[in-house]
Amino acid sequence: MKKLTALFLSLLAGAAVGEEAVAVPDFVRGHENIEWSIGYAFHLTDSNQRLPRVLLVGDSICNGYQGEVQKALEGLMSVSYWVSSYCVTSPRYLKLLEFYLEESPYEVVHFNNGLHSLGTPDAAWESGFRSALRLIKEKQPRAKIVFTTSTPLKDVGKTAKAKALNEIGRRVAKEEGVKLEDDLFSLLDPLDRNQNWTDVFHHKPALRRMEAEQVATACAAAAGINTAIVPRGKIQNDCYDFYARHAKVLADQKKINPQIVFVGDSITHFWCGRESIGMAEDSGTLPRWKKAFGNYRTLNLGFGWDRTCNVLWRLNNGEMAGLNPQLIVLHIGGNNYSTTREWCGNSPEEVKDGIFAVLKKLHEMAPQARVVVMAIFPFGERPDHPNRVKSVETNRMLAAEIGKFPYAEFLDITGKLIGADGIYPKSLANDFVHPTDAGYDIWSEALRPYLEKYVK
């Protein structure tokens, strides 16, 4: 492990982040009152040296999330970092950056540097950013560069400036052939500043973890690592509060002491009701759930818009901890195919591996339980829907490989949901994704033999 820490104290006091201490030429940022630089290059000689390497480059925002990125990518990537108050408009910046770029070959360089340039002209930042990208490409010609947008601030004017620099950054990155972007600005901008910011610039721990999860996913994707197996919290906004539902599960799961646990996405979530986690006595629990499972103690761990990575995050963060269910029903993976602003879709094989990663984690947490792995339900009305085509391939691989897991069984009810022509009727799924009461009845009937066999 190599560490370089530099602390530069200016003789001129009074400058804050992004402000010039003295008059300087337009294209040079003057000293801040305190200048600092911290960097670590990890796993240069130990057994992890063969892992794909990523260098996180940034400022105090990056310093806030780098530790959580290391945790998220443990065993998948080796994460090094260099963080500093110096920015691309500082005269010494390129010299310091060059030092770290020459320390080790990297597969990925994740670049987040803009907030300390808020007090300099746009043209200065553009020139400095372009020079930094060219230096990275020169010193690390094989590395994938991920341009990362600067985060929003508590101050409206500074946020507008950061947004303007981000737009310049996008243009320059495109001109320099950098195709990958990690949009932290859009991730954080909708959030309440008073609840989530500690000062004008910095974020509370929960927000730093959210940033880290997105950064880890971006780095894994850039390195060609399957993002379906990288744990991550909330990704998409939906009709419910992801973290509030997670907190409710943690508060109530041991009180339920479930015999059966259902794990999945919105298809599982909405089976019992948006506000319910499966307790028959809850006022929000739907009649169809009570009809199917009212005689059992059940826990519904379905979360709308979840992907396999979200389930892994939830299991790593307390869901299922200390429970001893007899049966687990797992239906996850359908949302992994969808490409959104926040997510690059996974391939059928990646989804299969993500499902099996969840299966292994469930068995680790509840080794006594039998796990029913559901085939991914049909997508779209017609068989040529792109996600339907992908799910068919994933289901084929699941069926072929489920025998590797003696504690699990594969259940495919696709043939009961669609006709011989492949059409998914509205009577069973109004939106051709989420089952109606009739669709859920088919699922519950298919599960009945497993309940009778494994739940006592």
CB contact at 8 A, 276 and 289? yes
pLDDT of residue 143 exceeding 80, the answer is yes
The confidence score (pLDDT) of residue 25 equals 46
- Residue where a domain stops, chosen among 225, 255, 283: 225
Residues 163, 26 within the same domain: yes
CB contact at 8 A, 115 and 151? yes
The confidence score (pLDDT) of residue 176 equals 97
The confidence score (pLDDT) of residue 374 equals 98
Residues 186, 296 within the same domain: no
In a domain, 234, yes or no: no
In a domain, 232, yes or no: no
In a domain, 363, yes or no: yes
Residues 141, 257 within the same domain: no
- Residue where a domain stops, chosen among 190, 225, 260: 225
> Which one is predicted more confidently, 205 or 4?
205
- Residue where a domain stops, chosen among 194, 225, 256: 225
| 3-state helix, strand and coil shares in percent for the chain, rounded to the nearest 5 | 45, 15, 40
Minimal CA–CA distance to 83: which of 118, 35, 123?
Answer: 35
Q: Compute the residue count for the chain.
A: 456
Residues 202, 259 within the same domain: no
Question: Which CATH number fits the domain that encloses residue 441?
Answer: 3.40.50.1110
Structure tokens given for 164:
């303007």
Q: Which helix (DSSP H) or strand (DSSP E) does residue 449 occupy?
A: helix 437-454
Residue position matching structure tokens 């299969």: 352
- 163-215 pLDDT, tens digit per residue, is 999 999 999 999 999 999 999 999 999 999 999 999 999 999 999 999 999 99
Parallel, antiparallel, or unpaired for β 53-58 and 34-41?
unpaired
In a domain, 390, yes or no: yes
Residues 204, 257 within the same domain: no
In a domain, 236, yes or no: no
Structure tokens given for 416:
């009961």
Residue numbers of the domain that contains 357? 242-454
- 350-366 pLDDT, tens digit per residue, is 999 999 999 999 999 99
The confidence score (pLDDT) of residue 13 equals 28
Residues 33, 146 within the same domain: yes
Residues 212, 256 within the same domain: no
Residues 194, 248 within the same domain: no
The confidence score (pLDDT) of residue 1 equals 43
Angle between helices 122-139 and 93-101 (to 10 degrees): 20
pLDDT class of 8 with cuts at 50, 70, 90: very low
How many angstroms separate the CA atoms of 78 and 4, rounded? 18
The confidence score (pLDDT) of residue 71 equals 93
In a domain, 339, yes or no: yes
Structure tokens given for 331:
């239906």
Q: How many domains does the chain have?
A: 2
- What share of the chain has pLDDT > 70, as a percent? 93
In a domain, 54, yes or no: yes
In a domain, 210, yes or no: yes
The confidence score (pLDDT) of residue 23 equals 37
- Look over the chain and give the mean of its residue pLDDT values, rounded to a whole number: 91
